[in-house]
Structure 1
Amino acid sequence: MPPTNLSVATPDFFLMGFPGLEAYYAWLSVPFLVMYCVAVVGNIIILCVVKLEESLHTPMFSFLCVLALIDLGLCTSTIPKMLQMFWLQANVISFQACFVQMFVIHFLSSLESSTLAVMAYDRYVAIYNPLRYTTILTNAYIIKIVAVLFMRGFILIGVLPVLASRLPFCSSTVISHCFCDHMAVVKLACTDITLDSYYGLAIALFIIGTDLFFIIFTYLMIMRAVLKLASKTARLKAFNTCGSHLFVILYFYTTMLFSFITFRFGQSVPAHVHATFTVLYLLVPPMLNPVIYGVRTKEIREAIIKVVINLFH
């Protein structure tokens, strides 16, 4: 009796990109390339400055470095492939690469959400317990927080591509997106996807829900403390700082939730609109975070000037 071949061929996927805008790809590539370069350069500058300047070796800037690393990974996991699509019409992505990209994007998105929540807690401690700030947020405590958040995202998000990669893809392998989003890939399966859909929904609600609730609660407490400040100048400075942080946070969650909801319930939303919003939540925050959390911070500005002066002497 001849041996039976049990291996199943895994298909390559075709990324549609921005349906209907193919004629404008050359023009679209320019702003995406510029934003990507700004994001990469900005986050690398933050990492280098914090590394070189010992006065910045504090909990606040440690979390900022974690955010910078996440942002570098988040935009690099999508934009280079998109630029290949714009310039070389390289829309095909292998089966394995698709699920690796899926994991990286969703894992880093969850980690960014968690890091924003921890940074809000950092500001809360700095305002409510300024004298005990460094004793509460010790290096060991920071490492534990980052490790817990890393493991939470790695385990919960890691199940998504594992489940999705086991689905049979019988006919269409055209992903109506510019990267391997979980639901965009799962919808191509020729079988029941209830488990994958519900698990993705549950994980998103758990991670985003808990982080967003914690951020809102923390900033309400911060605002309460700021209103008690005696100096009007100090209140305005605090509101200006918190307002900038909240703008980035609201943008990140608004665009993320828009993408999440429209994939499940917004069938009437044009594909190119959905794709644009999704990419912007992966690209704009990595570009804005170094400015909002870094350059607008006095210590970072002074450290950058100091490093530049040292380079020319």
Structure 2
Amino acid sequence: MLSRPGPAGAIVDGVYAHASRPLPTPAAARLTAAIGRPDALPPPLLMLLGMLSTQVGAAVAKQLFGATSAGGTTALRLGLGALVLLVVVRPGLRLGWRAAGLVAAFGVAMAAMNLAFYAALDRVPLGVAVTVGFAGPLLVSLLGSRRIADVLWAVLAGAGVLLLAGLGGVGVDALGMALCGLIALGWAGYVLLGKALATRVPGTRGLALGMTAGALCVLPFGVATAGVELLDPRVLALGLGVALLSSVLPYSAELAALRRMPAQVFAVLLSLEPAIAALVGTLLLGELLAWPQLAGVGCVVAAALGATLARRDEG
């Protein structure tokens, strides 16, 4: 997905640990050129556009399932996204053993997260998959805290996940929810490994190499489940659209926004992602969530906002 989780600590120090360091100038210039002139737009608008792009990309990916499989969609998304980043970033391949191991582990986490995400989308609404996945690193961050307030936010997020899982009496696909649990675990691992990778391989070099490793991991699944359909021009075009919408464009827009706004404001806006996913699922896919599910989304968003704002007040 390359979506982003959690409260401020998990967001800025985790997935976006690599984004808190400036891109090398040539790479920054290429990414900026790829999305027009992001600095001409207000940072909050860039953030919203980035999140909207991510979720629209997921909606487009769901349309691919009629022509290929979830594994094929994952292979196209990571493979084409990795190709774009390799061209833009041009990362060197010389790494120490520890850095190479982190790149490989990061790629495996990315592959597992994306495979689970697209497989889940075949069974549950977009808003449910994103919200449960979002709750994974959020809960990891909050449960690692010794503050009572953070424990309460974790309980609220957990209640939201239970509502999404059918606590409110809404029928859910059991396998789909199990896959959502795998998304949450993969997303949490992606955050933790992304933070470690950023210290070893700064800038976007680690992201480009990690996505390449992830693409290699999912390629056998894509070939096994989709075969030659992956080479169909229409499927390739849609796959490129998914890669751009879900990876390149949101990453570029949000990186530009992060450079021009406080990290806490960035985190507050990012907490709205599950709500945006639910909205996109409703408008583009016709996925109307039941009231208990909407309440679940609201609980997770409120927990992320509450934890973020509480840390800002303490700072």
Question: TM-score, normalization: structure 2?
Answer: 0.27
With a CA cutoff of 8 Å and minimum separation of 6, indicate the structure with the bigger relative contact order.
2
TM-score normalized with structure 1 length:
0.27
Larger-gyration structure (1/2) = 1
